[in-house]
Structure 1
Amino acid sequence: MSSINALFCHVDDFCQIFEPQWRKQLITQGLKTRQRSKSLCLSEIMTILVMFHQNNYRNFKHYYLEQVCRHFRCRIS
């Protein structure tokens, strides 16, 4: 479990630096875009994706249903 926390901390540190710089680089075409609030932050999504690639699951749906929803749901809420 501590490796998940350490992974999240590293990903979150990266996102704190990357996301503002990335938003500055986006090209807009004069249209207003909404910034809706998400249920998961970018760091949480990236951590789930990194963990998926570290495991031996064939597809993301199976990994998400078996690991994330079953084991991490109580910790996220």
Structure 2
Amino acid sequence: MNNSDAVFVEVDDFCQTFLPAWEKHLISSGIKHRNKPFRLSVSEVMTMVIDFHQSSYRYFKTYYIHFIYRYLTNEFPELVSYTRILKLMQGILVPLCSYLTYR
């Protein structure tokens, strides 16, 4: 198991607990949120962001297009365009910050 796999397993385990609790909090507080499912899971997007920051790539766009698209299509079979991943990254801010605080 490489480092990315280990990060994904840990992030996914965290998301299994965190996301339902966060969803429940949003509903109880009356905050409206989108319920459209991602093609990529929250865990996958968070793993990409964490892995990018642990990589030697300077820019996320280069990392996504030249590394993820080139070498990790088997690990992420539902890859989306670069502009779409930027939109998805906006939706993982709270789970990502919570995970990093938890760690």
TM-score by length of 2: 0.63
Q: Which residue is 2:83 aligned to?
A: none
More moved, 53-62 vs 33-42? 33-42
Q: In 2, distance between residues paired with 1:63 and 1:73? A: 13
- Does residue 71 of structure 2 align to residue 63 of structure 1? no
Deviations 1:4-54 (A, max 9, x none): 22111100000011111111222435x6x5411211000000000000000
Q: In 2, distance between residues paired with 1:74 and 1:19? A: 25
Q: Tell me the secondary structure at the aligned position of residue 72 of structure 2.
A: helix
Identical columns (%): 40
Structure 2 unaligned residues grouped into runs of 5+: 78-103
Q: Which residue is 1:24 aligned to?
A: 24
Larger radius of gyration: 1
- Does residue 7 of structure 2 align to residue 38 of structure 1? no
**Count of aligned pairs:** 75
Q: Which residue is 1:7 aligned to?
A: 7
Q: In 2, distance between residues paired with 1:20 and 1:71? A: 32
TM-score by length of 1: 0.81
Q: How does 1:42-57 map to 2 (within 5 A)?
A: 42-57=42-57
Structure 1 unaligned residues grouped into runs of 5+: none
